[in-house]
Structures are given as structure tokens and as C-alpha cells.
Chains A and B, each alone.
Chain A
Amino acid sequence: MKKVKIAGCSAGWPDMMDPAIEVAEKSDAKYLAFDHLAELTMAILERQKAKRPDRGYIPDVIPLMKKLLPIWKEKRFKMISNAGGANPEQCAEEIIKLAKNLGIIGFRIGIITGDDLPIERVKELRAKGIKFRNLDTGEPDIDRVINDLVAAYVYIGADRIIEALDQGADLVIGGRISDNSLFVGPWMYEFGWKYEDAYWDRIGAAVCTAHLLECGTWSCGTCSNFWEEVPEPWHSGAPICEMGEDGNSIITKVEGSGGLVRADTLKEHLVYEVHDPENYIMPDGIGDTTAIKLEDIGPNKVRISKLGNKPRGKPRPSTLKFCLAYLDGYISEYIMIVPGPKAYDMAKRCEEFFYKRLEIVGLKPVETLVSFIGYNALFGPTAPPIDYSPNELGVRFAIKTRTLEEAREARLQATLSWYAAGVGTAFGAPSEREVLALWPTLIPREEVPTKLEMREVK
């Protein structure tokens, strides 16, 4: 049976670079896949590109490629990446420049575009009668935010990745290609799977398995429940997955790397951000994470196989996830640290001071949150009443306002609440930031024509 190895070499931006280099140097993985994007990242990159047309991609890709390309010259693995962000063309341009400087010849790049929609196009689609219901809040359409839109991008699938590989790409680079598709694409290409009835079970298996790989070292014991027993996480291995044509696979990592691959460490990732486990909706198919089985079969070696007769996948959805980013006021933050004795009482006094000051200066923020780092900043209202005397507490003020001026003024009042604390209070660096809010919605697949361009370094 044909088997193909793919390594998950990046979890987001930023990430450690050396696990990817180690995979390239020491493993026989045929594909290295790099996910660099998170929900917010695309909006930030769009804003960068608006300011400077030669920006808007993940800059880390350049130092990363500088290390990978010389290894590629010897080993000829394939790379799939969404580092293009809001500007895949420029990203490819920079990589081509780099490759030339390194004396690399015959390196073929497939550039995928069409995932980000100009705001004008969004307006056209509305004129056609398409509505963009907010998946978080249920709001039926984007009327409220239409004038504040700054970016719009679609989570695209593996279609063009498959095409690029078929045309001999050594590197496929795109923008908001779904994390998942960076893996599903090469497997579909290698095994000749099509978006047809005969393949949904196996595509579903690939969708579920890709979910285990798209966060890189996360499934090898980083950010883990088992952190105390994970060896040397500072040089954690990246997950390497060998899948067979039947959709079953084995996950390992590079021999001698840090980290831990165990059914448990994969399981904790399989439950991460999946929502309905029987319907894990991805652009290439709907995976059923309850239809697979994880088994330890050796040290740092886990088998993933089909559980019973339940199909592991269903046909891909007719819509794609579509994210609209819009300007939504400002947030300012301020943190100071109050010392004991009576740190908690002191923190409460500072909180009271802050709200009284807002009243005195007549400021009405959209929203405020005062939390005590060391007590309830992470736990919020679930934190049990404090029954101990902490050495120190961080007091964090977060304020949302409509204007930048209000954000500054609110932060100033937070800063002044230092006066209410006793002797010995330390203050940190304040800041304001513009808020880019996201409007997650769906868009019909046919409204998102993507494009593939092939280039070669000569």
C-alpha cells in the first residue's frame, strides 16, 4: 500500500523554527506543511499591506527558507505554506530573490491567490442578494458594520494545492488556505483522491488527522496537560505522519528530539477547537473525529485507525468560512503590581479609585474590566473567594472606548489609581490599540474563484 509522510512544521506566528529544520535535515518526510495564520493574523496582515504594498505576508518565512532551501537542494522535499497571508505574490517574489542568492536553480513555486476579497466585491455580493449572517451572534447581515470593513478573506480548501503539485510545485504558497488543507491537499494529490462519493471516508480521515498536525509541536507535548513529564520541550519535535491509502496512519517525531508523542498528547489536541465532533467542518470535507481510534504502538509512536464501520467523513460543504474584519473602537490596558501585606484589599481600593475617577472626569467607556493577576485574571467569576494572603497582585485595567482620545483618558485614570495603593506599588508600560473585530460568516464556494500561478527559479 502506498504511504506518504507529511510533517506539521508550524503552529502559527510566531513559532520555533528549529523543529522544521530538524525535520528537513533528519526525517524522510516527503512534505513539510506550515500553518502560520490564526483568526486575527490575516486582518493584521491586510492592514500592513494597506500601509505598505510590499508587506502583508509572514516575514519569518524568509529566515526559515534561508535555512530550508539549502537542505531542499539535497533532499527535494515539498513544502506547503500559507505564509503568503494577505500578499502571496510578494511573499513568493521574496523567496525567489532569496533562492537566486542561494544559487538554487529549478525550484518551482505555485502561488495561490483569490482568498482575500476586496471590500467592493463584498458590496457587489450583497447587491446580488447574498446575506452574511454572523455565526457568533446570529445577526442576519453586515449592515451595522458595512462602512467599517477593512478586510475580508475566505478560508479556502486544497483544490489549488492539488493542482500546483500536479504541475510540479516544490513550494506551494498561498494566503488564507485553511490550516487543515495544507495537509489534506498533498494526501489527496498523492493518493489520487477526488471530491467524490468514493473518497469521503478517506478524506474525512485526512481531515481529522490533519487537525492533529496543523498545530505543529502542540501534539508532541507542548502546551500540554502532561507538561511535567514532557522531556525537553525547548527542542520539541514536530509531528510526522505517515498515512496510507486507506486513510489510516502513524504519527511519530524525529528521533532524539524533545517532546512526547502519545495517544494522550494527540487526544488532547483532537478535542481542541473542533466543536461538533461528528461534524468537523473543513473546506475539503466534513470529518468525524468520533470515528477514529488512537493507540500507542511504541515510544513516541501512535497509530490512528478507523473505528468500526462508521464513515470518517462526509461531502465537503457548499459554503466556505468567510471572515470580515471591521474597525470597532479602541482598547487600552494598564497593569500595575501591588505588594502585600493586604495586597487584595489594596487592589480592591485601586479598582474603586479607578471607577470613581471615571465618574469625576465624566468618561463613559463602552466596556471595562478590572482583574487581579494572581487571583481572577484567568478564572474570572469562577475564581473562589480569596482565602489566602498573596505576596503581590497585578491589577489589570482594560477599557474599551469609541475613540482613541477616550482610550488615552481612561488609561490615564487607570494609571492614577496607583495613588490609592500603598507604598511600594510598581507600574508597567501602558498602551492603546485599535480594535479589529471579526465577523465570521459563510460564502457560497462558487463566489470565490481562486487562481494558481506557477513560477520557477532559473
Chain B
Amino acid sequence: MKKVRLRDICWYRSGDKGDISNIGLMAKNEKIYQIIKRQVTPEKVKAHFKDWVKGEVIIYPMDNLLALEIVMYQALGGGATKTLRIDQTGKAMGNALAWMEVEVPDDFVVPK
């Protein structure tokens, strides 16, 4: 097994509703979808964001889009109007998640 970062195998877009941050994480192909579906867990996501995500993390699979909808509570420092973060609406939360690593087989080829 070897490790790759999500940024090399997925697309992503994140947004906000109040203090809830959501990340749509889209696998570049079916094989990758199976990998992220198994390995991108609420526990791992919460650990990755450390004290930036204070509440629960829920992950919904979207088989039709090969995507995961990741919903993170108390994740924006109080929400767009209250937060001290420069990224008030958490548009870069997807990019931040994309630094996370997952394990892939040794013969795995990163898609273009």
C-alpha cells in the first residue's frame, strides 16, 4: 500500500449554512469513489480539522455522482457573520480537506 492525497484523486467544493460547513468531495472515477467511501470517515475528517471542527461530522454517500457530502457542525468559528477566520464562508475547507491522505494499492495510478 502507498499513500496519496485527496487533492490528487478528487474534486471538491465547500460552502456554508450558519456554522455548518459542507464539503462535496467528488471522486475522479469509480475506483477512487470506493476508496474514499471506505476511508474518508467522520472520525478521520474531524481529526484532520483539529479544533476548527468542534461539532459532529456526518458523511452522506452519493453513488450517482461518485461523491461524498461531508457535513461538519460547529465548523466555521460561529458562522460567516461571527467568525474571526478570513475565509468567512469556508470556501477553502474543501481545499484543506484535500491535504488528507488515503491508502491505495501499490499499482494505483493517479488519474490526470
Q: Which residues of B contact A226 (CB under 8 A)?
A: 11
Chain A: minimal CB distance from B24 (Å)? 2
**Listed stretches A141-149, A197-205, A250-258, A274-282; interface member:** A274-282
Residue of chain B at shortest CB distance from A368:
B84
Per-residue CB proximity of A77-95 to B under 8 Å, as 1/0?
A: 0000000000000000000
Q: Which residues of B contact A399 (CB under 8 A)?
A: 84
Please judge, given known A-B contacts A378-B92, A382-B50, whether A273 and B85 are in contact too, CB under 8 Å: no
Per-residue CB proximity of B46-80 to A under 8 Å, as 1/0?
A: 00111110000010101111010101011001111
Q: Which residues of B contact A136 (CB under 8 A)?
A: 18-20, 73-74, 79
Residue of chain A at shortest CB distance from B95:
A378
- In the assembled complex, the Cα of A359 lies from the Cα of B97 at a distance in Å of 35
- In the assembled complex, the Cα of A152 lies from the Cα of B41 at a distance in Å of 37
Cβ of B3 within 8 Å of any chain A Cβ, yes or no, is no
Please judge, given known A-B contacts A367-B84, A379-B92, whether A273 and B15 are in contact too, CB under 8 Å: yes
Whether B79 contacts A268 by the Cβ 8 Å rule is no
Q: Which residues of A contact B110 (CB under 8 A)?
A: none
Please judge, given known A-B contacts A379-B99, A398-B86, whether A271 and B24 are in contact too, CB under 8 Å: yes
**Listed stretches A59-67, A106-114, A289-297; interface member:** A289-297
Whether B96 contacts A377 by the Cβ 8 Å rule is no
Whether A373 contacts B86 by the Cβ 8 Å rule is yes
Q: Which residues of B contact A269 (CB under 8 A)?
A: 13
Residue of chain A at shortest CB distance from B16:
A273
Whether A382 contacts B96 by the Cβ 8 Å rule is yes
Chain B: minimal CB distance from A269 (Å)? 7
Per-residue CB proximity of A166-186 to B under 8 Å, as 1/0?
A: 000000000000000000000
Please judge, given known A-B contacts A39-B80, A379-B95, whether A275 and B22 are in contact too, CB under 8 Å: yes
A275's partner among B11, B13, B69, B74 (CB-CB below 8 A) is: B69
Whether A278 contacts B17 by the Cβ 8 Å rule is no
Chain B: minimal CB distance from A290 (Å)? 5
Cβ of B81 within 8 Å of any chain A Cβ, yes or no, is yes
Chain B: minimal CB distance from A139 (Å)? 12
Q: Which residues of B contact A307 (CB under 8 A)?
A: 64
Cβ of A101 within 8 Å of any chain B Cβ, yes or no, is no
Please judge, given known A-B contacts A274-B22, A379-B96, whether A369 and B77 are in contact too, CB under 8 Å: yes
Whether A277 contacts B62 by the Cβ 8 Å rule is yes
- Name the residue among B73, B74, B85, B95 with the largest chain A CB count within 10 angstroms: B85
- In the assembled complex, the Cα of A277 lies from the Cα of B70 at a distance in Å of 10
- In the assembled complex, the Cα of A315 lies from the Cα of B15 at a distance in Å of 26
Q: Which residues of A contact B71 (CB under 8 A)?
A: 275-276
Whether A273 contacts B17 by the Cβ 8 Å rule is yes
Whether A437 contacts B69 by the Cβ 8 Å rule is no
Whether B17 contacts A275 by the Cβ 8 Å rule is yes
- In the assembled complex, the Cα of A273 lies from the Cα of B72 at a distance in Å of 11
Chain B: minimal CB distance from A439 (Å)? 9
Please judge, given known A-B contacts A136-B73, A328-B82, A379-B96, whether A438 and B63 are in contact too, CB under 8 Å: no
Residue of chain B at shortest CB distance from A335:
B86
For the complex with contacts A40-B81, A379-B99, A437-B79, 7 further pairs of A-B residues with Cβ separation under 8 Å are A39-B81, A225-B13, A271-B26, A273-B22, A276-B58, A377-B85, A381-B49
User: Can you list 12 residue pairs at the A/B interface with Cβ under 8 Å?
Assistant: A39-B81, A225-B11, A272-B22, A275-B60, A275-B71, A276-B60, A276-B71, A331-B84, A377-B85, A381-B50, A398-B84, A400-B84
Which residues of A line the B interface, CB within 8 A?
A: 39-40, 43, 135-137, 223, 225-226, 264, 267-278, 289-294, 307, 325, 328, 331, 367-369, 371, 373, 377-384, 396, 398-400, 435-438, 440
